Amino acid sequence: MRIGASQIRWFSARFCLALALSCLVSPALWAQEKGWENHMKAGSKASMSFRFAKAEKEFQAALAETQTFLPTDLRTAETLSKLANLYTKEQRFTEAENRQKQAVAIFEASVKPDPLLLPRMSKDR
């Protein structure tokens, strides 16, 4: 099968377009990642300094950043877990439990079952 010059130009144009789009999207994704990371660091620092209101504000901002992540992104679970830990320190146990349950649900959804373990587990029973 021979590829003609018009097919090469078509593939080349498509490749250049895809490359250009990825260059435009990548900085936005990187900035979003950096924003989440900065909020998490600031929240942890504030929490260790017993500035709980500031820590909550930062963790909530980090959680807002995760709204565009995939539903099973572990950064969302990490953020929820940090909020749960903060709420526990503040003795806001109901809120802490709710946030931790959300985090666990994300952890469980993100774990892929290991097909090699499943048969062994059923044989042991």
The answer to whether the beta carbons of residues 49 and 79 sit under 8 Å apart is no
Q: Report the predicted TM-score, pTM, of the whole model to 2 decimal places.
A: 0.67
- Residues 69-88 have pLDDT tens digits of 999 999 999 999 999 999 99
Tell the CATH topology of 33-112.
1.25.40
Q: How far apart (Å, rounded) are the C-alpha atoms in residues 106 and 87?
A: 19
Task: Name the CA dihedral angle for 19, 62, 77, 92, rounded to a multiple of 10 degrees.
Answer: -170
Tens of pLDDT, residues 7-41: 556 545 554 444 444 444 445 455 557 899 999 99
Q: Domain extents for the chain? A: 33-112
Residue 38 has a pLDDT of 96
70: left (phi over 0), alpha (psi -120 to 50) or beta: beta
Contact 61, 39 (CB under 8 A): yes
